[in-house]
Structures are given as C-alpha cells and as structure tokens.
Structure 1
Amino acid sequence: MKIGDTLDMKCRFCGAHEVELFLDLGDQPHCNRLVPPELESVKEPHFPLRVGFCRSCSGVQIDYTIPKENMFSDYPYVSGTTKTLPAHFAETSARLVERYGVARGALVVDIGSNDGTWLKQYAPYGLQTLGVEPASNVAKLANEAGINTWNKFFNEETAAEIVAQHGKAQLITAAGVFFHLEELHSVCRGIKNLLNDDGVFCVQAIYLGGMIENIAFDQVYHEHLCYYTLKSLNFLLNQHGLEVFDVKVVPIHGGSLEAHVGHIGARQISNSVNELAADETAKGLGKIETYQAWAKMVWQLNHDLVDELKKYKAEGRTVYCYGAPAKGATLLNSFKIGSDLVSLAVEKSPLKFGKMIPGVRIPIVDEAQVPRPDAYLVLSWNFIDEFLIKEADYLRSGGEFIVPVPKLRVYSANDIANIEA
C-alpha cells in the first residue's frame, strides 16, 4: 500500500469507504505491551500503523484495530505518577462543579477512569462518583484508594446498568480516552442515555490541531483510533443527539480539546464553538493537503533527531530515555532508534521496571538505581516544564535534555531561569 491509496476500511466517524492514507509508520508492536525479561527472545506481534483522512467527513483515524481486550485489560499507565495531571484535574473539577452548579449527591461518571485520579478531585464537593475502567490492575488501585470503580468497558450496555443502579449522571467525563474507543458509536449512545436532560459531558482529547502544529506524530499509536478536530467530534456526536456547546484548547498533553457537550438544543451554543470552527477552517484542518504536508515534517524530524543522537554517540556521550510512555514507543519504532543510540529508559513507575520498550527492546529501569547519563531523550515532552524544574540540579551539573517535540531542542542549565521566572 502506498501514500494516497484508499485504505480498506469504513470510516470510524461516518462509515464511508473513502479514507485516504497519508502517513505510514510501518508495522509496530502494541506500544503499551512492555516486554518482560522471560520473553526477551520472542518477537512480539507487529501491526500496521497507518493514518488516513476521510474524504467524505474529514475524520482522521488509523485503519488497523487491535481488539480492545488485548490492549486495555491490563495497563501499565497510571494517571497519578506526575504532579501535572492531578493538578489539572483538580482545576477542571472545581471549574465544572461551579459553572454547572453540580449539587451535592449528584452522580459523576468518569469513562476510562484509570486509577481514579480525576474522581479523587471531587472529594470536597460531596458528589457521588463512579469510575468505569477496563484495566483490572488499575481499577484495583482505584478501588483500594476508595474510588468506586467498575472494571468494565463503557458502552451502551454498561450505561444502561449504571442508570438501573444509580440513576442518570449530572456530569460525565472522559479524559485521554475518547480516541481509544473501538465501540465508538455504542459509547456515544451510552453517553446520550446516561446523561441527565440538563447534564454535561466533558471530554478532553488530544487535539489534532495541536498534533499538526507540534509535529506530535508520536501521539499516533494503536490505542488511539481517532484524532479529533472540533468538526469531527461534533459530527460524531450529532449522529447521537448530542452537540458541543462550549469548547477550548487546554495545554495538557501538548494541547487537548476540552469540549462541553449536552443534548441537542439543551444549552446555548457559545461563541467559542464558532470561533474554533473558523480557526480550523483557516488552518486547513478539513483538507488532505494539510496532513500530507505534516507527514513530510515528520520524516524531516526523523532525520534531524537521528543525526543528533549519532552526534552524542560519536562523542562518547551516553543518552537514556527519560520515561517510557506509549508515545515514546511510536517515536522510537518509527525512527528505528534502538539501544545502540539510547541504551536505557529510566522510569518512576514500578509497573514498568525490568521490562523493555516493545519493538526497539530498550530496557526500562528504576531511575533511582542507575547513574545519570550525559543527556536524556525526553519522550514525555508534554511534561517538559515539570521535568526542567524537577531536574534543575542535574542540568546545572552539565546534564542535558533532548526534546524532540514540538521542535527538536537541547535544554541545558541556561534554560532553567526561563522556567523559574
């Protein structure tokens, strides 16, 4: 298959057979299926990672679906490992409760609730909270922390069970999960049926506009089936009696779309919706040419980053990965960066210690147990400000951060003052 071909699929948004391939990242393993030591000699399965644009509805998506049960029944990522996310969710919770007058005792349902980090932030408001999380290991963490969590996939059937047991929800949230949904239309029907007449669904999803602006192709992986603009999100929701009535782009994860959604006609449409829609049109987010140009920038980044890492190697300087996030597996495998250029990945999550990044097989170790390298390749670039403050002493001692996105840049001690200011 070559760039410009029509992918053999129905569009996830509209069902048309008009999805044109514009970025092919090759066959890759499931990014979050970290390799344990006992499977070091066994090659993990690889699957096509191709991105297409629907000429009918402008929805951007990948074509190959790894079954959700294989990806999410056990999961190595937990939301509470950085300071940034809990703080972000605390701010968002306070804002939602105040703006919509969510009364004490009202039901809040979080879809893909992970370890309960977002739901914990509602404690001061006396709300009834329920998480729905398919990964048994992180659902267990949430329940142990006192956050009522169902270990299920959210869909139309699960929504009906919630209504039967708890009634309808005044607030439904979904952060970092709406692009994961294999049962996309069933989930939307479930939200429609679960939401109170005047209720609000708040969805936060990595914004395709930000991905284009930041060359953040590493946010493409098999778990992320769909990539949203306001236009494509609203097109999807409208099919199920829902609409975006307010929207903004928030800085989390390098730029996320925060859409406030209600039943069609239930709330007045904010100016922010028309303004962002106009901005998307001006930036060409509904045109295939925009994505074709973006793909060329991805391959230029490939060239520049590999050259930079080869320079460190030629100088005899060590480089480790700073973190082993899912997006890092996409970048490393797409650019074929292995342990010859980056020898280790350091982590703070015990769920990842002793395993290897799939495909490239870079070992993951406890960051506290290894000496510092000359430089870190920062794969979780979306938390770079937090990392610069946390690692100020390392940078002052001569260490460096190689940050590939949004623009290849090497940070040193000279950059600390700008962050602290």
Structure 2
Amino acid sequence: MRMTCRVCNGKNLALFLDLGNQPHGDSFIAPKDLKKREPHYPLRACFCVDCTTVQIDHTVPKEVMFEEYLYVSGTTRSLEKHFEESTKRLIKKLKLKKGDFVVDIGSNDGTWLDCWRCTGIQTLGVDGAKNLAKIANEKGLETWPKFFNEKVAKEIIKKKGHANLVTAAGVFFHLEELHSVTEGVAELIGEKGVLCVQAIYLGQMLQIMAFDQIYHEHLTYWTLRSIEALLGQYNLEVFSAEFIPIHGGSIEYLIAKKGTRKISKSVTEMRKREKELHLGELAIYRTFASRTWKIKKELLLILERFKKEGKKVYALGAPIKGSTLLNSFGIGSDLVPAAVEVNHLKIGKYIPGVRIPILDEKKTPPPDAYLVLAWNFLPELLQKMEAYIKNGGAFIVPIPKPMVIDKNNYQEFVIKS
C-alpha cells in the first residue's frame, strides 16, 4: 500500500472510493485453473491534496499485468480509425515528414505503428507485452519487447538517434516507473522533439460516471493540472491540450521542452475549465463515489427484473473495465450467465473474480439482452447489431446511468453517418 503520491511524493493522500479487494481484471482464468483462487489486490482511489493527482494506492507488479496482455488494439475498428486520424492530424500539426522517426510506447499489436509506416515515417515500438510485441514484429513492425524507461530510452538514442515524436496512447496511466519513463522521454525527444500523450480525461470520467475506468492497470488518472505537476520536474511542458472522443473522452497532450513551443490557447482554456469544474478539490471526488453506489443499485434492479421475467442476459464483451464493474457490484453468473467476445485470446476463459464464462460471439445464439460492458463503443456496437435490436433484443448500458436500449429508442444512440 502506497503512503505517498506517485507524482509529487507528498503524504496527503485522501481515500474517496474503495472498490474492495479484486483480482487483476485482465487475468482471465483458464478452465483448468477454476479450482484455484486467483490473487486479489486492494482497489482504492485516492486524491493527492498537494498536487491534485488521482491515483490508486496499491501497485500490482507490471509483470503480472502486462507480460501476456490480452487487450489487442486491432480488434476494434473505431480504434483503428482513431489512430489513422491521429496520424494525419499530428503530421499536419507538427510538420512531420518522410524519414522522420516516431517511437510508440506501449505499441500493442502495432496498430498505430502501421499508420505511421504507411506515410514513410520510420518507426519503433516498445511494449512489455511479449505476446503483442511478437504479433507486431511478425507484421514487419519493429517492436522491442521491453518496458520503456530511462535505460531503454538511452538504448534507442544509441542505436537509432533522437525521436521527432514519441507517442503514448492509453499508456501514461499504466506506468509504475512513472518518473523513469518521463525522464527517458525527456532524453529521447532531445531539444526539438515532441511527446504526444493520449489519456482518458479525469474531468470527462467524472462527468459520465466512468468509475469502471478505475482498475489495477490504471495507476494514475490525469487532468492538465496533475500532468503538469509531473512534467515540470523534467523541464517539460504541455503546449497543446485537445479533447478527443476515444474511450469515452480523452485528452491529447502535446509536450515539449520548456520554452521551445508556443503555448496553445487550448492549454489556458483547459486550465480555466478545470478550475470551474473544481477538479482540484476533494469534494467532487467524494460526490463521484456516492453516485457510483447509486449506479450499482439501479443496475442490479434492471438485471434482477430481467431474471424475474425469465429473460437471459449475457455480457457483451469482456473488457477489463467490465471486471471492475462486475466485481465491484457483485454481479455473477446468477444474473449474467455468460459473456461473449470476438477476441480469441479471451474466448474459452472466465472473467476473474465473478467466474463468468467467455463464449465466442460468432458461435453463440443471442440472448434476450446484452449487458454492454464496452459501453465506450456503444455507437459501433449498435450499428453492428442493429438487426438484433430491431428483432426484439436489448442492450443494458450501465454508464453513465443504467438504462435499457431496445427497438423503441435505439435510434437516439446511433451516430448518423
């Protein structure tokens, strides 16, 4: 259990949401291991009164969480599209050109690397998940199966030179070696390079009640103010902060050495907005916690109603955030007897803690309703399963407020092309 802040090392951590002891949400259970009890770890969200960083106070070893990682970027078309759009935007904004060098930290299966490669830009991926690094290398996308830190940064500089751009999408909240990584990036970008951090935005997370984004992989939850508290220690500063819709609401921070880039209006506007939203005050987080338990009550009422009516409910998808929701709310196979997935790395296994079996979505007859655990991809899922909804199926969506989507109201949630 940590007693000091991950960012500023201060000792004023205030607990505001205790989700109990839970297994690591991505440690899916093989049938042969069902008789064993998997390790459980505290899952508690705290607020640093000194630097305002929200964080969890227990660290599961990164080797447990990431060496065999089951989240694969390329399985979601909306994420592929997001990376394609990000590549075009960053090339234009940063004036990148053919032959420039981009390093992607936490590069997963190489989905974003592939977008860069198509433009003639030189790439290197770094990812501690050996299984995913192998997939990327097999695609011809050079990926080092290592956890990025200052030592790895020095190796890259020695072998390939400084990077024009370092990208870290959905990575900066995972970092156990937060300070070593930040120092390494500061060295890797030299005096002229840029770091692009894409991270789930705490302000949006509070607004849409995404408490299920709290899990053991997410050690820190960023606002502009809190990430600036970290970057300032390494002569780095944010020069652009733009909202991007991926993962239910994220921010793309563009970061460089202090004084080397003009500070965008977006940065000053975001500072002002964070102050208006009281993101630097403990009270807002305590309100978030009380609303979380209200969601539990409302969701359980819906699931129990479906069960009473003799209707079968399966979980649609088995994302790690779903493990947080199911384990926090005590939703097991009595209410949700199965989950369906398209990710072959999860099919045939069981969701940790609640022990719900994961079936192949393509081979499983649809139930009366799906509990949508991957709610951040709701428009894509509605489009994909429109026929199911029209024929009487239903989606139970837990976030931001538990509700049922069926043929009578689904059009309200479909993004018109």
**Normalised TM-score (structure 2):** 0.98
After TM superposition, the structure 1 stretch with the greater mean CA deviation from structure 2, 126-135 or 191-200, is 191-200
Q: 1:384 to 1:196 in 2, by over 3 A?
A: same
Measured in 1, the distance between the counterparts of 2:112 and 2:408 equals 35
Map 1:8-407; keep pairs closer than 5 Å: 8-407=2-401
CA distance in 2, matches of 1:239, 1:307: 48
1: CA distance, partners of 2:404 / 2:154: 51
Alignment correspondent of 1:4: none
Q: Please give the alpha-carbon distance, in whole angstroms, between the structure 2 residues aligned to 1:12 and 1:196.
A: 25
Q: Distance in 2 between matches of 1:187 and 1:26?
A: 29
Cα deviation, residue 420, structure 1? 5.5
- Secondary structure at the aligned position of 1:115 is classed as coil
**Aligned residues of 1:159 and 1:191 also touching (Cα < 8 A):** yes
Tell me the distance in 2 between the aligned counterparts of 1:123 and 1:185.
29
> CA offsets per residue over residues 247-300 of structure 1, 9 Å max, x none?
012110000111000111110111110101110110110000000000000000
Looking at structure 2, the residues matched to 208 and 154 of structure 1 have their Cα atoms a distance apart, in angstroms, of 24
Residues in 2 aligned to 1:160 and 1:140: alpha-carbon distance in whole angstroms: 23
- 2: CA distance between counterparts of 1:182 and 1:364? 30
Shift of 1:125: 1.7
Q: Deviations over 1:150-199 (max 9, x none)?
A: 00000000000000000000011001111000000000000000003221
Looking at structure 2, the residues matched to 121 and 415 of structure 1 have their Cα atoms a distance apart, in angstroms, of 37
Looking at structure 2, the residues matched to 407 and 416 of structure 1 have their Cα atoms a distance apart, in angstroms, of: 16
Q: Is the 8 A contact 2:168 2:197 kept in 1?
A: yes
CA distance in 1: counterparts of 2:401 and 2:114, whole angstroms: 35
Query: How many angstroms apart in 1 are the aligned matches of 2:254 and 2:110?
Result: 21
Q: 1:8 to 1:65 in 2, by over 3 A?
A: closer
Alignment deviations for residues 290-329 of structure 1 (CA, whole Å, 9 cap, x no partner): 0000000000001000111000000000000000000000
Q: For the residues of structure 1 that align with 2:284 and 2:278, how far apart are their CA atoms?
A: 6
CA drift of 1:416 comes to 4.1
Distance 2:257 2:147 in 1: 23
Structure 2: any 5+ residue segments left out of the alignment? Answer: none
Q: Could you state the TM-score of these two structures normalised by the residue count of structure 1?
A: 0.97
Percent identity over paired residues: 53
Distance 1:8 1:81 in 2: 35
After superposition, give the CA deviation of every residue in 1:112-170 in whole Å (9 maximum; x if it has no partner): 00000111111332111000010011111111111110000000000000000000000
Equivalent pair of 1:280/1:286 in contact (CA under 8 Å) = yes
Letter of the aligned partner of 1:139 in structure 2? A
Distance 1:134 1:123 in 2: 21
Residue matched to 1:3 = none
Decide whether the 8 Å contact of 1:389 with 1:416 is kept in 2.
Answer: no
Deviations 1:322-366 (A, max 9, x none): 000000000000000000000100000110011000000000010
Post-superposition CA distance 1:389-418 (Å, at most 9, x none) = 000000011000111112212111234434
Aligned-partner residue type, residue 179 of structure 1: F
SS where residue 239 of structure 1 aligns?
Answer: helix
The answer as to whether partners of 1:8 and 1:17 remain within 8 angstroms in 2 is no
1:20: how far off? Answer: 0.7
**Partner amino acid for 1:94?**
K
**Aligned partners of 2:394 and 2:342: how far apart in 1?**
19
Matches of 1:366 and 1:286, distance apart in 2: 44
In structure 2, the residue corresponding to 1:131 is in which secondary structure?
strand
- Indicate conservation of the 8 Å contact 2:110/2:125, yes or no: yes
* C-alpha spacing 1:132/1:397, structure 2 compared with 1 (3 Å): same
**SS state of the match for residue 238, structure 2?**
strand
